[in-house]
Structure 1
Amino acid sequence: MNPAIRRPLVALCAMLVLVIVQAILDPTGLLALVGWSGALPAFDRGLWPVAPYVVFVPVLLGITWWTAARAGDRYWTLVPGLVLAVLLAQAATVLAMTGDLALSAWAAGYVTAKAIPAALIVAGFARRLGGPTDRQRRDPGSVWAPALLLAAVAPLLAGLWGTAPVYAAAVPVARPDRGLLSTLVAMALIAVATALSLRWMRSRVPGVLGGWLAAIVAGAMVGVVQALVATIADGLQGDLWPLMSAYVTVADGLSFGVCVGWIAGVGALVADRLREGRAARVPFYAAAGVAVVALLVSVVAPYAGEAAAEEQAAAASIPSGFLRANGGIISDGDGNQVLLRGVNVNQLVDFYAPRADVPTTWPLTEDDFTGMAAEGFDVVRLGLSWSALEPSRGTLDQDYLDRITQAVGWAKAHGLYVVLDMHQDSWFNGATPDGTFCRPGTDSMWGYDGAPAWATITDGAPRCQFQGRDISPAGDRAFQNFYFDTDGVQTALVETWGRLAELFRDDPTVAGYDLLNEPGFGETAPVTTSLLLGRFYDRAIGAIRATGAPQIVFVEPSILWSGLGFDSGPQPGFTHDANWAFSPHLYAESITMDRSLGIAPIVSMERQFALAQRVADAYGVPLWSGEYGYWGDAADRVARLDRYATLEDQYVLGSAYWVWKQACGDPQGGIGDVGDALVPQDCASGEGLPKRDDLLKILGRAYPQSAPGAVYDLSASDTGFSMKGTVGEKGCGLRVWFPGPAEPSLEVTGITDLKTTLVTGGWFATGCAEGDYSLATK
Structure 2
Amino acid sequence: MKTSTSASPAAARTDHPSPNHRRTRRHLRTFTALTAGALSLASTSLPLTIPTAAAHAQTPPSAPAAGPVWPGPDGRPGATGRWITDPAGRTVIYHGENIVAKKAPYTPESIGFGDDDISFLKANGYNAVRLGIIWEAVEPQPGQYDEAYLDNIENTVRKLADAGLGTLLEVHQDAWSKRYGGEGAPDWASLDQGLPALPGGLIAAQFSPAVYQAVNNFFSNAPAADGVGIRTRFVNMWGHVSQRFASVPGVIGYSPINEPTPGWPFLLCQADLCPQPVVDRLISLNADVAKTVRQQDPRTTIWPMAYITTALGTHPQMGAPVDPNEVYPFNSYTIICNIGINLPGFVCDPHQRLNAARSREYAEQWNIPYAMTEFGAIGSPGVLTTQSRIADDNRIGWFHWNYGGPDHTTSAPSPENQAMVKNPQLPPTGDNVNTDNLTNTVRAYPKSVSGTPLSWGTDQNKVFTARWNGQRVDGTGSFAPGATSVITVPPALYPNGYTATVTGGRVLSEPGAMDLVIAADGPGDVNVSIAPR
User: One fold, TM greater than 0.5?
Assistant: yes
2:89 to 335, 355, 358: 335
In structure 1, the partner of 2:255 is: 514
2:424 and 2:83 mapped to 1: Cα distance?
40
In structure 2, the partner of 1:662 is: 405
In the TM superposition, residue 676 of structure 1 has moved relative to its aligned partner by: 4.2
Is 1:586 the counterpart of 2:332 in the alignment?
yes
1:399-418, aligned counterparts within 5 Å?
Answer: 399-418=148-167
1:393 to 118, 124, 142: 142
Distance 1:532 1:688, change over 3 A: farther
The one-letter amino acid paired with 1:657 is: H
Please give the per-residue CA displacement for 1:430-451, whole angstroms capped at 9, x wherever unaligned. Answer: 14xxxxxxxxxxxxxxx11000
In the TM superposition, residue 421 of structure 1 has moved relative to its aligned partner by: 1.2
In the TM superposition, residue 675 of structure 1 has moved relative to its aligned partner by: 6.4
For CA contacts below 8 A with separation 6 or more, give which structure has more relative contact order: 2
Asked if 2 retains the 8 angstrom alpha-carbon contact of 1:725 and 1:773, the reply is: yes
Distance 1:399 1:426, change over 3 A: same
Taking only aligned residues, the RMSD between alpha carbons, in angstroms, comes to 3.6
2:193 and 2:335 mapped to 1: Cα distance?
35
In structure 1, the partner of 2:501 is: 747
In structure 1, the partner of 2:131 is: 382
Asked if 1 retains the 8 angstrom alpha-carbon contact of 2:71 and 2:77, the reply is: no
Please give the per-residue CA displacement for 1:293-349, whole angstroms capped at 9, x wherever unaligned. Answer: xxxxxxxxxx757x74xx64x5467667111111111111212111011110113x3
Asked if 2 retains the 8 angstrom alpha-carbon contact of 1:380 and 1:419, the reply is: yes
In the TM superposition, residue 607 of structure 1 has moved relative to its aligned partner by: 2.3
Distance 1:319 1:638, change over 3 A: same
In the TM superposition, residue 29 of structure 1 has moved relative to its aligned partner by: 5.5
Identity of aligned residues (%): 24
1:413-562, aligned counterparts within 5 Å?
Answer: 413-431=162-180, 447-464=181-198, 468-487=204-223, 488-524=229-265, 525-527=274-276, 529-562=278-311
Distance 1:479 1:723, change over 3 A: same
Asked if 1 retains the 8 angstrom alpha-carbon contact of 2:331 and 2:375, the reply is: yes
2:159 and 2:140 mapped to 1: Cα distance?
25
2:162 and 2:290 mapped to 1: Cα distance?
28
Is 1:774 the counterpart of 2:527 in the alignment?
yes
Asked if 1 retains the 8 angstrom alpha-carbon contact of 2:236 and 2:292, the reply is: yes
The one-letter amino acid paired with 1:513 is: Y
1:473 and 1:597 mapped to 2: Cα distance?
31
Distance 1:352 1:519, change over 3 A: farther
Distance 1:639 1:365, change over 3 A: same
2:424 and 2:486 mapped to 1: Cα distance?
37
2:396 to 639, 653, 669: 653
Distance 1:412 1:98, change over 3 A: closer
Is 1:722 the counterpart of 2:465 in the alignment?
yes
In structure 2, the partner of 1:567 is: 315
SS of residue in 2 equivalent to 1:31: helix
Larger Rg: 1
The gaps in structure 2 that reach 5 residues or longer are: 1-32, 224-228, 266-273, 471-477
The gaps in structure 1 that reach 5 residues or longer are: 1-24, 38-48, 52-93, 104-158, 161-175, 178-302, 354-358, 432-446
When structure 1 is superposed on structure 2, of 508-517 and 748-757 the one drifting more is: 748-757
Distance 1:527 1:457, change over 3 A: farther
1:699 to 441, 444, 447: 441
SS of residue in 1 equivalent to 2:498: coil
Equivalenced residue count is 463
Is 1:690 the counterpart of 2:432 in the alignment?
yes
1:479 and 1:742 mapped to 2: Cα distance?
52
In the TM superposition, residue 667 of structure 1 has moved relative to its aligned partner by: 4.4
In the TM superposition, residue 567 of structure 1 has moved relative to its aligned partner by: 3.0
2:488 to 719, 726, 737: 737
In the TM superposition, residue 506 of structure 1 has moved relative to its aligned partner by: 1.8
2:416 and 2:70 mapped to 1: Cα distance?
49
In the TM superposition, residue 566 of structure 1 has moved relative to its aligned partner by: 1.8
SS of residue in 2 equivalent to 1:392: coil
Please give the per-residue CA displacement for 1:376-421, whole angstroms capped at 9, x wherever unaligned. Answer: 1111001111111110111211221111011101101211010011
1:89-128, aligned counterparts within 5 Å?
Answer: none
In structure 2, the partner of 1:289 is: none
SS of residue in 2 equivalent to 1:486: coil
The one-letter amino acid paired with 1:35 is: S
User: Which structure 1 residue ranges, 4+ long, deviate > 6 Å from structure 2?
Assistant: 25-28, 96-100, 593-598, 669-673
In the TM superposition, residue 547 of structure 1 has moved relative to its aligned partner by: 0.8
In the TM superposition, residue 365 of structure 1 has moved relative to its aligned partner by: 1.3
1:756 to 507, 510, 516: 510
1:645 and 1:601 mapped to 2: Cα distance?
13
The one-letter amino acid paired with 1:498 is: G
2:409 and 2:338 mapped to 1: Cα distance?
18
In the TM superposition, residue 548 of structure 1 has moved relative to its aligned partner by: 2.8
1:692 and 1:596 mapped to 2: Cα distance?
16
Distance 1:558 1:499, change over 3 A: same
Distance 1:688 1:471, change over 3 A: farther
2:161 and 2:71 mapped to 1: Cα distance?
23
1:628 and 1:670 mapped to 2: Cα distance?
11
In the TM superposition, residue 596 of structure 1 has moved relative to its aligned partner by: 11
In structure 2, the partner of 1:624 is: 371
Asked if 1 retains the 8 angstrom alpha-carbon contact of 2:349 and 2:386, the reply is: no
SS of residue in 1 equivalent to 2:130: strand
In structure 2, the partner of 1:350 is: 103
2:376 and 2:257 mapped to 1: Cα distance?
19
In the TM superposition, residue 668 of structure 1 has moved relative to its aligned partner by: 3.3
2:73 and 2:415 mapped to 1: Cα distance?
48
The one-letter amino acid paired with 1:512 is: G
2:422 to 660, 668, 680: 680
1:734 and 1:98 mapped to 2: Cα distance?
46
In structure 1, the partner of 2:25 is: none
Distance 1:449 1:362, change over 3 A: same
The one-letter amino acid paired with 1:470 is: Q
1:44-59, aligned counterparts within 5 Å?
Answer: 49=46, 51=47
1:490 and 1:33 mapped to 2: Cα distance?
23
2:378 and 2:34 mapped to 1: Cα distance?
31
> TM-score scaled by structure 2?
0.77
Asked if 2 retains the 8 angstrom alpha-carbon contact of 1:465 and 1:471, the reply is: no
Q: Compare the two structures and name the one with the higher helix fraction.
A: 1
SS of residue in 2 equivalent to 1:464: coil
Please give the per-residue CA displacement for 1:643-679, whole angstroms capped at 9, x wherever unaligned. Answer: 222222111111111010122x634369969564111
In structure 2, the partner of 1:640 is: 383
The one-letter amino acid paired with 1:612 is: S
Asked if 2 retains the 8 angstrom alpha-carbon contact of 1:589 and 1:631, the reply is: no
2:327 and 2:191 mapped to 1: Cα distance?
30
The one-letter amino acid paired with 2:168 is: V
SS of residue in 2 equivalent to 1:554: coil
When structure 1 is superposed on structure 2, of 462-471 and 668-677 the one drifting more is: 668-677
1:98 and 1:548 mapped to 2: Cα distance?
24
In the TM superposition, residue 26 of structure 1 has moved relative to its aligned partner by: 6.4
